[in-house]
Amino acid sequence: MVIKLSDAVAQKIVELIHKQSGFDVIVCDNTGTIIADSEQVRIGQKHKGSYQILTSDKDSAVITAQEAEESKGRVKEGVSIAIEAEGAKIGTFGIAGPLEVVPPVARIAAGMIIMMLRDEELKDFIRNQVRVLGTSVDQAANGEFDIVFELLKNTTESITFENGNCPEIYKLIDKMSNLAFKDTLTGTYNRRYIDQKLPVDIISTSLSEQSLSIIIADIDFFKNVNDTHGHVAGDHTLKAVADILSGCIQRESDWISRYGGEEFLICLPGAGLKRAVEIAEHMRSSVENSEIVYGECSIKITASLGVCSIKPSSRAPRINAEKLIECADNKLYVAKHKGRNRVEA
């Protein structure tokens, strides 16, 4: 049950996965030759590395590339997902077998998919969240067949290829991206998303000679909420504040992430300092005027916000994400020091 897709189709899907997930992706044929590459610089090269085989019915084992090829006859045939942290071993997840290609959620060509993830934490995430259950035994006369997989061990999805096309891949890659980059409590993006997206936005706005601003918002005296009403009420309050802050940004390019604890980072690409301060003040007043109801309790809170903005200039040194966050964090500290429930920029 190997689908024969052209290298061009494999390249197109690799680029789609890279665009929507930010992962570095290559596809190899059965000889280990790279036939599709998200960076478009490694096509034709041989991929070398060791593979960690995890099957649905066997314990994991670290083996070499040659042993991976030889293992086809030892384990159940099916599909496999190969994932690699840069400089580290490649992890293959799912059911090992003939080297048929599966991206995070779907097979795309004859060969294997390898996703070079940026850190061990992300590799562990994929290992824990995705388990390939298998493929359908019967293949329809028109070439359609299903690959069934499981996310978070409670969501089973089925996707279908027809003539090399798979519309569902868009939704499934979005789902994978959400699982990797969303904070489960608040529904906002998480710290990992900040680490990957903020540097990209800084470079993008710099190249287009636009400003970029960030806001760091912190809930004042949040410990008192937990101490007075309990941690469940505290979690409810965090979610409510996240919703309030999210409601204060309107553009598709703006985004919000949970920065840590009771802190949130808001990124405003293209917004100058004046506009960012206006948005921050709107957030501050919205939190102050809100009434968060939990059970029979009415919880009143305020927030302090620090704002920092950068504007490209040939005379100014380029500011990286770390320095920008440090600037906003310092302004947040000033807001706290001056009495809280205020904006400093």
* 201 Cβ neighbours under 8 A, 6+ residues apart: 212, 267, 269
For every residue of 33-52, DSSP letters joined together read BEEEETTSS-TTPBP---EE
Class of domain 191-344: alpha beta
Please report the DSSP string for 126-157 in residue order.
HHHHEEEEEE-S---TTS-EEEEEEETTTEEE
What pTM, to 2 d.p., does this model score? 0.57
pLDDT for res 13:
57
Is 262 a known active-site residue?
yes
Looking at the DSSP bridge assignments, the partners of residue 189 are 182, 257
Condensed to tens digits (0 to 9), the pLDDT of residues 52-81 reads 322 222 222 223 334 444 444 333 333 333
Q: 77-116: per-residue pLDDT in tens?
A: 333 333 332 222 233 333 233 322 333 322 222 223 333 3
SS3 category, 91: strand
Q: Which of 262, 291, 296, 322 is catalytic?
A: 262
What one-letter code names the amino acid at 52? Q
Residue 167 pLDDT more than 80?
Answer: no
Instruction: Please state, rounded to an integer, the average pLDDT across all residues of the chain.
Output: 67
Spatial distance between the Cα atoms of 135 and 151, rounded to a whole number of angstroms: 15
User: Where do the CATH 3.30.70.270 domains begin and end in the chain?
Assistant: 191-344
d(CA 32, CA 65): 9
Q: In angstroms, what CA-CA distances link 178 with 187, 193, 199, 250, 282?
A: 9, 10, 19, 20, 27
Length of the chain: 345
Supply 344's token pair. Answer: 């400093």
Q: What are the pLDDT digits (tens) for 216-260? A: 999 999 999 999 999 999 999 999 999 999 999 989 899 999 999
Q: Is 44 exposed, middle or buried (0-12, 13-18, 19+ CB in 10 A)?
A: exposed
How far is 209 from 303, CA to CA, in rounded Å?
A: 32
The C-alpha atoms of residue 263 and residue 242 are separated, in whole angstroms, by 10
